Structures are given as structure tokens and as C-alpha cells.
Amino acid sequence: MNVSVNVDGLPHEFTMQLDLGAVKTNLYGNSFKPYIDAYPSVKDKIDSTKTFMMQNEKNIMFGGMRLSMGDLEFNNMEIGLFAGYGTLMTADSVNTKTSKHIGTIAPDLFQDKVLIIDYPNNRICLSKELPSEYSSLDFQDLVLESGRIKIPFNINECREMLMFDTGSSMFSLLTTKINAKQISDGIVADSLSVNSWGTDIPVYGSKMTTHVKFGGKYLPAELVYFVDNPQFDAGFKQMGIWGITGNAYFSSNTIIIDYRNKKIAVK
């Protein structure tokens, strides 16, 4: 999910990925470097006294930045600079008119607000209050940890917590091998390699043999995907989640995330 943005008023077209599984909004060091070099006002906002963790490494940050999406503007922002990540761009690319993909938008921008993701119409909206047109929906409680969202699914008649991650666009359900085996036929029907923050990870899919519900809504029975990797098993256990769900289950719906009241609904 890529969103058109303007960074600090620069006269260039940019996009950033909307990734609710990330923690800190950040600009990619490789992709944004030509703009840092070309604009001293941006370079001057690098604050090496402020850091954030990414891939178990400390990265420095910008302070006092401005980020806008359409008419929505965020001022005096602290934005990370993810060193060594993103597509390498040359100084010449600054002068081309094509839109450049330069970073990730994380949920730190949306705390205490209502985020609406309209998948069919490729739109997002941010509101201070819940719009009245959505007030009658069946809202479910969510859990917030470091800005990330955990939501309850009913899987095989059991209540399981999943992280809702818009960065996990391809998979309705992504979990561990053990969990996938419990709700599938165990036969690998699909396999692919996906890139996770610069690392290629093999992922396998098996046909589900049980139903899945979110609130009162039955979700399509599809493949359940799994990563056969002890590090992922440990990571899911540490986060207290059964797995991850992404955009695929909701591509025909609108998702309403009320960060203020810790509620989520599907229309």
C-alpha cells in the first residue's frame, strides 16, 4: 500500500508504504540520500542524538520534519532515517519528474485518531472522531503494543490474536508451521520467496480445512501460509500472537481502526 506524500515541502513527488506492522515512520537512507545532499535545510534536521531501532541496529533520526498526505499535514515530526535501505538513487534522480518511493509510514502517525482504509476505492482517511456513518458497525476490541494492532480471530472455534499488518499484503493468514498444520491438509500447495526488510524468506501455503471468522463475519477459506523458521516461531510467541493477517482478507472491504478507543470494524 503506497501513499503519495510530500516531505518537508520539497518540490518532488514521493510515495511511502503504509505499513501498520512497522513501529516508526522512516525514510530509506539509500533512496533519500540525494535529497539530503541537495537540500541543506533537510540535512540540518538530522539529529544524531535521537535514534530508533531497525533490524536490531540503531539508526539516527530527523527532527522538526513536515510530512503531508493530501490536505493532511503532520508538523514537527521525528522521522527515522533507515541507513543502507531502499533503492539506490543518484544525484541525477533528483531532477527527474517521476515519483520516488522513499520510506515507510508507520502507525505512530495515527495514535489517538481514527484511520479508515477503503480498499475497493484505494483511499485512506484520518479523522479525529469516528464518522457517524460507521457508528453502527460491529466493532471489536483490539490490543495496541508499540502502535501495532492485535485483533481477535475465531480460528477452528478458538479465539486467536493476530497482528493486523498492511505490510503483509499477500497473505490472508501467515503463521508458524505447527499452527498451519492444525488448520490445513498439510500439503504444500504454494511456495514463494518474499522480501522482509531486505531479507528473502521462503513461505509455504496449504489449503485450509476449517473456517475463520472476524467478529460475526466469515472470511473466505483460502490457503494458510507459514514460515518454517524457529526465529519466526519465537517472534510470534514473544508478541503473543497466533500469526499475522494482512490486506488480502479485506480487499473488498473498508477497515475502520479507532486508535483512541482501541476498536476495529470491517464494512
Q: Which CATH fold topology does 114-266 show? A: Cathepsin D, subunit A; domain 1 (2.40.70)
Separation of alpha carbons 143 and 27, rounded Å: 27
Residue 190 is predicted with a pLDDT of 87
Are 119 and 197 contacting, i.e. CB atoms less than 8 angstroms apart? no
* pLDDT tens digits, one per residue of 112-131: 899 999 999 999 999 989 99
Which residues 6+ apart lie within 8 Å of 238 measured at CB?
Answer: none
DSSP state of 210: S
Looking at the chain, the whole-number percentage of residues with pLDDT higher than 90 is 49
Average confidence score pLDDT of the chain: 89
Mark out the alpha helices in 39-141 (DSSP H runs). Answer: 40-43
pLDDT in tens, 173-208: 899 999 999 999 988 888 888 777 667 788 888 999
Which CATH number applies to 2-109?
2.40.70
pTM equals: 0.84
**Domains 2-109 and 114-266 alike in fold:** yes
pLDDT(169) > 70:
no
Domain ranges (residues) in the chain: 2-109, 114-266
